[in-house]
């Protein structure tokens, strides 16, 4: 297990799914964690359970980001790790997406990720460096016809991460930035899709070489590795956690 003792992390979208598993994993690996979410009751309960600190945050609200990074420093004294995990789907295709739906999914998934990086970088740099992990999706490579905003925003997360990574490397500020690309994972985000398309989860699992969805803890393990000092030369990289789903020829 990576040793994260002495490190301080912010994890967004901590109330459920991959975010909750990540708070649990980073805490177990020794980090002190500030979890944030729009879901106050769920986020507070998860953080109480694992000994993390919680704050309400809508990642799309840019001004809130400086308060969140300041809170991490005020509570724990430094900031070493940022996991930009909060994300939403929109369920709208190019045939029916309206302006509000498009604006909201991009605001949360890509503007929220940018604002998190922008606020965290100077704070991490003042602690001697750090690790940013942005959560994209296999839809960034194999997009969903029925969710144009989600797919486009996740594609943008991949490229944003590389731009952040290379700028930080040029600045020699000690900050690495990498992307984790989960495939279909057993979390709440799939429930809306399952409700709209009964059988969706089973059919995705059936087309996966491993014949199942991911457990959020499996994604959290990759995040913990990228957050640790085990991979000092990894920046601008992408880790696919998809059970081989994008590695197989569509005919098989």
Ligand X SMILES: NC(=O)c1ccc[n+]([C@@H]2O[C@H](COP(=O)([O-])OP(=O)(O)OC[C@H]3O[C@@H](n4cnc5c(N)ncnc54)[C@H](O)[C@@H]3O)[C@@H](O)[C@H]2O)c1
**Can residue 135 be called a binding residue for ligand X (CB under 6 A)?**
yes
**Can residue 19 be called a binding residue for ligand X (CB under 6 A)?**
yes
Give the nearest distance from C-beta 13 to ligand X in angstroms: 3
**Can residue 12 be called a binding residue for ligand X (CB under 6 A)?**
yes
Q: Which of residues 180-199 bind ligand X (CB under 6 A)?
A: 182, 184-185, 187-190
**Can residue 245 be called a binding residue for ligand X (CB under 6 A)?**
no
Looking at 33-96, list the stretches that DSSP marks H as alpha helix, in order from N- to C-terminal side. Answer: 40-50, 62-76
Q: Which of residues 41-60 bind ligand X (CB under 6 A)?
A: 57-60
Give every strand in the sheet of 81-84, ordered side by side.
Answer: 53-56, 32-37, 8-12, 81-84, 130-135, 175-182, 238-241
**Can residue 2 be called a binding residue for ligand X (CB under 6 A)?**
no
Q: Taking Cα atoms as reference points, which of 160, 187, 185, 164 lies closest to residue 176?
A: 164
Give the nearest distance from C-beta 45 to ligand X in angstroms: 11
Tokens of 21: 């598993």
Give the nearest distance from C-beta 132 to ligand X in angstroms: 14
**Can residue 88 be called a binding residue for ligand X (CB under 6 A)?**
yes
Q: How far apart are CA 134 and CA 217, in angstroms?
A: 16
Looking at the chain, list the stretches that DSSP marks H as alpha helix, in order from N- to C-terminal side. Answer: 17-28, 40-50, 62-76, 99-106, 112-126, 148-171, 189-196, 200-207, 216-227
Closer by beta carbon to ligand X, 172 or else 188: 188
Give the nearest distance from C-beta 201 to ligand X in angstroms: 9
Q: How many amino acids of this chain bind ligand X (CB under 6 A)? A: 28
Who's near 135: CB < 8 A, 6+ residues apart? 18, 83, 84, 85, 87, 157, 179, 180, 182, 223
Stretch that binds ligand X, among 26-34, 86-94, 122-130, 162-170 (CB under 6 A): 86-94
SS3 content of the chain, % helix, strand, coil (to 5): 50, 15, 35
Give the nearest distance from C-beta 240 to ligand X in angstroms: 11
Per-residue x/- track, 206-225, ligand X (CB under 6 A): --------------------
150 is catalytic: yes
**Can residue 238 be called a binding residue for ligand X (CB under 6 A)?**
no
- Considering the candidates 54, 65, 76, 150, report the single residue annotated as catalytic: 150
**Can residue 226 be called a binding residue for ligand X (CB under 6 A)?**
no
Q: Taking Cα atoms as reference points, which of 46, 43, 45 lies closest to residue 27?
A: 46
Report the half-sphere exposure of 44 (CA within 13 A, side-chain side).
5
Q: Which of residues 148-187 bind ligand X (CB under 6 A)?
A: 182, 184-185, 187
Cβ distance 57 to 68 under 8 Å?
yes
Residues that bind ligand X (CB under 6 A): 12-13, 15-19, 37-39, 57-60, 85-88, 108, 135, 137, 182, 184-185, 187-190
Q: Which residues are catalytic?
A: 150
């Amino acid at each position: 297990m990576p040793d994260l003792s002495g490190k301080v992390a912010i994890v967004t979208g901590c109330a459920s799914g991959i975010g909750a598993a990540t708070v649990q994993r980073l805490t177990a690996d020794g980090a002190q964690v500030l979890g944030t979410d729009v879901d106050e009751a769920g986020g507070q309960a998860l953080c109480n359970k694992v000994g993390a600190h919680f704050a309400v945050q809508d990642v799309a609200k840019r001004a809130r980001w400086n308060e969140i990074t300041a809170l991490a420093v005020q509570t724990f004294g430094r900031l070493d790790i940022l996991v930009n995990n909060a994300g939403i789907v929109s369920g709208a295709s190019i045939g029916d997406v309206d302006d509000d739906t498009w604006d909201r999914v991009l605001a949360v998934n890509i503007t929220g990720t940018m604002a998190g990086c922008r606020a965290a970088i100077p704070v991490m740099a003042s602690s001697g460096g750090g690790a940013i992990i942005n959560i994209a999706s296999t839809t960034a490579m194999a997009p969903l016809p029925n969710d144009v905003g989600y797919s486009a925003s996740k594609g943008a997360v991949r490229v944003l991460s590389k731009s952040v990574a290379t700028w930080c490397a040029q600045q020699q500020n000690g900050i690495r930035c990498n992307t984790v690309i989960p495939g279909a994972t057993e979390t709440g985000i799939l429930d809306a899709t399952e409700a709209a398309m009964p059988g969706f989860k089973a059919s995705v699992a059936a087309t996966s070489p491993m014949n199942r969805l991911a457990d959020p803890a499996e994604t959290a393990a990759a995040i913990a590795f990228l957050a640790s000092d085990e991979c000092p030369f990894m920046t601008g990289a992408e880790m696919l956690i998809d059970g081989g789903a994008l590695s197989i020829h569509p005919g098989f």
